[in-house]
Structure 1
């Protein structure tokens, strides 16, 4: 069953590599740390899920979030997080290529466990990608869903585009 507006998200744990100036050196990998949905208690959060780092549609979706990060902050958003099924090292590399520098965090839900609990996972085994996180966006307020948008066509960015998510705030 898919999570709905008004419901609280399940507890989830992710891994990510926090940005630091040392990561400006492409030969530095950083160290993954744990990150929990507990960090979102009492906060307004936008969670954007993409199928994978460095994939055509996903790679093109993120720059608008970076470009509009101040608009999200003006709308009292405390955290903008990207979640996908890639490992934290791939996500760290992708975040660096995207120039996110910690303004937006990229979280690894490597087994899509949390995403499955939300009812928002997609099985892309037929195309060699396994079970993934899908393309959707959640707006949370103190862990409660205030808005959920799921892309009707996985290869397009419409309802999960940064400009559209801003309208939900």
Structure 2
């Protein structure tokens, strides 16, 4: 069953790129005691993700924080090296924390996977966003295949 509003964010281990290389991020600790605006993209450097999704959260970072968001995070079924390179290329450093879900464990637990095999991408995460307060999902926005509306930074701003 797909995750729903009111559910606890599932336990997961993400990876993030640091100056010392990839480092593990405990999801329970990451979500604890703060409000997180998390969005998921099917893949780093892909067209909609690079042209609209990530740039929207970079542009709206201050507005989201002014409405109570402590941290903005992006996740994708990519490795930490790719997510780190995408962050640098997009100018996301300092605005959006990149959380690599390299094996897709987080999106599998949420039951929000998609099959990108016909594009040579394999199993990926669906496009979605959520607001997580102290580990509890208080808003969940899952896009229909091919859509980009509900998971945008603008839509999330309206939910805060």
TM-score bracket for this pair, using the shorter chain length = over 0.9
1:49 aligns with 2:40: yes
Q: Which residue of the partner structure matches residue 73 of structure 2?
A: 81
Alignment of structure 1 residues 25-104 onto 2, 5 Å: 31-37=21-27, 38-60=29-51, 61-104=53-96
CA positional deviation for 1:117: 0.4
Q: Structure 1: where are the runs of 5+ without partners? A: 21-29
In the alignment, structure 2 segments of 5+ residues that lack a partner are: none
Distance 1:140 1:86 in 2: 22
Q: Provide the C-alpha distance between the structure 1 equivalents of 2:111 and 2:46, rounded to a whole number of angstroms.
A: 22
Give the structure 2 partner of residue 133 of structure 1: 125
Deviation at 1:67, TM superposition (A): 0.8
| Structure with bigger gyration radius | 1
TM-score, length-scaled by structure 2 = 0.94
Give the whole-Å Cα distance in 1 for the aligned partners of 2:120 and 2:76.
Answer: 16
Alignment match, 1:26 = none
Alpha-carbon distance in 2 for matches of 1:34, 1:102: 18
Residue of 100, 104, 115 corresponding to 1:108? 100
| Residue correspondences, number | 158
The answer for the alignment partner of 1:5 in structure 2 is 5
Q: CA deviation at 1:102?
A: 2.7
Kindly report structure 1 stretches of 4+ aligned residues shifted beyond 4 Å: none
Match of 1:25 in 2: none
Residue 14 (structure 1) aligns with: 14
Q: TM-score, normalised by structure 1?
A: 0.89
Q: Give 1:127 shift.
A: 2.5
Task: Give the Cα separation in 1 of the matches to 2:24 and 2:39.
Answer: 19
1:102-154: CA deviation from partner (whole Å, max 9, x where unpaired): 32111110111111101111112232111001100011111111110111133
Equivalent residue number for residue 162 of structure 1: 153
